[in-house]
Every structure is written in C-alpha cells, then in structure tokens.
Amino acid sequence: MTTYQFPAGFWWGSAASGPQTEGRLPGDGKGDSIWDQWYQESPERFFNQVGPEKTSQFLTKYQEDIQLMKATGHTSFRTSIQWSRLIPEGTGEVNQQAVTFYNKVIDELLANDIEPFINLFHFDMPMALQAKGGWLNRETVDAYVEFAKTCFELFGDRVTKWFTHNEPIVPVEGGYLYDFHYPNHINMKEAVQVGYHENLASAKAIKVYHSLGLAGEIGIILNLTPSYPRDPENEADVKAANYADLFFNRSFLDPAIKGEFPVGLIEVIKELEMMPQIEEGDLETIKENTIDLLGINYYQPRRIKAKESAVDHSNGPLPDDYFDNYEMPGRKMNPYRGWEIYEKGVYDILTNVRENYGNIRCYISENGMGVEGEEQYIDENGAIQDDYRIEFVKDHLKFVHQAIQEGSNVQGYHMWTCMDNWSWMNAYKNRYGFIAVDLEQDGKRTIKKSGHWYKAVSDANGFND
C-alpha cells in the first residue's frame, strides 16, 4: 500500500513550450516572434545573452526526448505549437515543414503511450502581427482564431486535450504593465485591452473547436496565485488582497469558467475610465463558450497588505495603486528564484475551484523549482542529485492528494519542466527539469535523481512518505 494513492488514470507528466524548447535551424521556415525580435534589439537583457535560437533542440532531438519522457514516467506531456513556426507571418501561408514536425512529435508521443496536451499561445506573438499592435489590435483576435482552427484541423484527429492560452495574464503584466516582455509598455489602459482581447480570442477558439465536432476537450492554462492578506482580521488588508485577486486571477478565471468578468473588476476599470473596446456580440461569445478543462499553474503565493507606500504616478494608474506586497516573516524561500515556497497554496486553489467554480475538471499543469548552479550536485556517475526537487514535488503532491480526498476534481500533475529549458529573459539561469541539459556538450541529456523518482511515482500511481 502506498501512503498517497492517486485515482486510476491520473495524468503524470510535465509541461514545456515550443518557443522554450524547439530552437531554430536555417531554412526551417519559422518566422520571427516577439522573442526573436527583442533578442535582436536587446540581447543584454537576457541572462548570459542566450537567445531563443539556442533553446533545448527539441526540433532535432524530439525522438530522444520522448524516450526520456517514457523513462521518467510520463503518461502525458504538454507543449505548444509555435504560431510563428506554423504560420510564419501570423496570417496566410502555412509552413509545411512545421506541419511535418508537429505531426512527427504527436505521433511519436502516442506511439510511446504519452498523451499529447497541446497549447496554442505561449507568449510567442508573431512579430508581423506585433508590428500591427499585437493583442492591442482586434485583427489579432481573428488571426489567432484562424491559427487555432488550422491547428484543430491539422492535428485534432489525434490530439484530444487542447488549451487556448498559457498564463494569459503574463503578456498583460510583462508587455503592458511591468516591462519584462516585449513590447515593454507600461500602460494600464493598453493592458486592459490586451487582456480583453485574449479572453475574447480564447472564447472564439473554443467556439470553433466545438463546432468541428472533434472527440476531445479544450481549456485554458492559468497561473493562479492565491492572494493572502497580511492580517485576515484586518478589513483593509482583506480588501487589498481582493483587488490583487481580481486583477491577476479572476480577470481570466471568471470569464473562462463562468463566462463573465467579475463585477468588482469592472467597477475599478470603469472608475479609471479604461473600459476596453467591446463590439456587439462579444460578451455573448464569452458567456456561451466556456472551458471544458482548467489547467492550474502554481509556483508561489502572493502576500498582500493594505496600500502603505506612496502611489507612483509616473506611468499613470497601475494595479499596484490598490495594494502593497507583503513579506511574511519566517517564510520558506527558494533563494535562487526569489520565490516563497508555500505548498498549501495548491490546496487552497483547488478548494476555491471546487467551492466557487463548479468543481470543474482541472489538473496541475505546472509546478516546479528553478535552481541555479545544479552542477554542484552532480554525483560520480554524472547525475544531478536534486533531492530538493523531489521534496518540493512530493510536498505539493500531498496537498493535491488532500484536495482529491475532499472531492476536488483534479485529474493530474505536470511539473515544469521535462528537461532544462530556456526561460525567457532568465535563459538557462535557473534549471527546472527532471532531465539535465548540458549546453557545453551539444545539449546532452542526463536524467536527474528526481526523474527516476518520478518514474517510480508514476508506476505506483502514488508514493510513500
């Protein structure tokens, strides 16, 4: 008997993305995305100036990598289709080399009894569309829906788990609020419009998917970060935490599942006179095309207190005008990433989804621990002894198990990520994988201790304490 037994058919695996793993070859037909463009413009903003063309070489090593997935207990694996690879200009002609590649990846996964979960948008706007405004431009919504439809028609006969966006709040935060994604604007009115268009694009893609009569389901991947007030008894702290929750969680969670935006969020946006441009029929489309399945990414909590610092007016209104972040004394930290480790957060998210969102079918689509300098933990056989990652995953899985015992409809767990991959501005600074990638040896792969442990967990469908 295992101490923590999971339901039959539980999905074990990991998540990655096209732009973070595939790489780029001369003549492969891929168009530029915003990441290619930004790296060309500002390579100094990327750790060790490692750009998106130097990712983990999944483009050429996918067969080896899928064997390694099998060796690390994967029964499922999520990646994304790069829009700029499949449709290089964002609209128009389809790149047949990309079709061939994605077909081979899907078929190889299925041949090895690993179910492909496919996400459509993972921060990688085609540069040709960004030049016309990206998500600010209503035409991008239509282009995205056509991209989604193309993917469904090409691959929907074999892929039965689809996701419209990964963490759609991140392009809002990074590109239009906090300057960590291209186009590096700080403009809340633009951020609101971008978020609205992402929500609308998701609903429209869901509508198209269901209209095609395919035998699968479609959802969205949201990074849900619980907002905990400094003092749960303090009304001002609770109100501040509610604002953070509205901006960063419920702005996508409510439309995705309930088909409508939260009233509190609408009130704030109206007060700021920043309502997005809404066309006739949009809100009905969002209302009528909700998700089948929710992916939940969880890394850290958000600790919030009432606004005490001065409001910075230099860039106009920002969400931060409504709350301050709070550093809880004695918190457990991942010192490399600068993030708090709070395992119970995953339980609190699942409880919230069960109690307030109809207990929709969901799964943990990302959870992971980035560590810098993992080479210091290599043993005499060349394998990284990442006991800290085993402890991290195990401690989160215990709370997932508890949520299941209490009735949560959670179907699986994916760690970020399968093999060490390129992580945006951080490049390869922090490593997350079950499998090490040696950049000095042409991307040589070696399974870490956590990968062998995960295989045992998957095989047993659980683990002992």
- As a residue count, the chain comes to 465
Contact 417, 428 (CB under 8 A): no
Nearest-angstrom CA–CA distance, 177 and 185: 6
Contact 10, 410 (CB under 8 A): no
Contact 269, 192 (CB under 8 A): yes
Look up residue 415 and give its two tokens.
């760690």
Q: Read off φ and ψ for residue 123, nearest 5 degrees.
A: 70, 10
Nearest-angstrom CA–CA distance, 446 and 458: 19
Q: Is residue 299 classed exposed, middle or buried when 0-12, 13-18 and 19+ CB atoms within 10 A define those classes?
A: buried
By annotation, the residues acting in catalysis are: 366
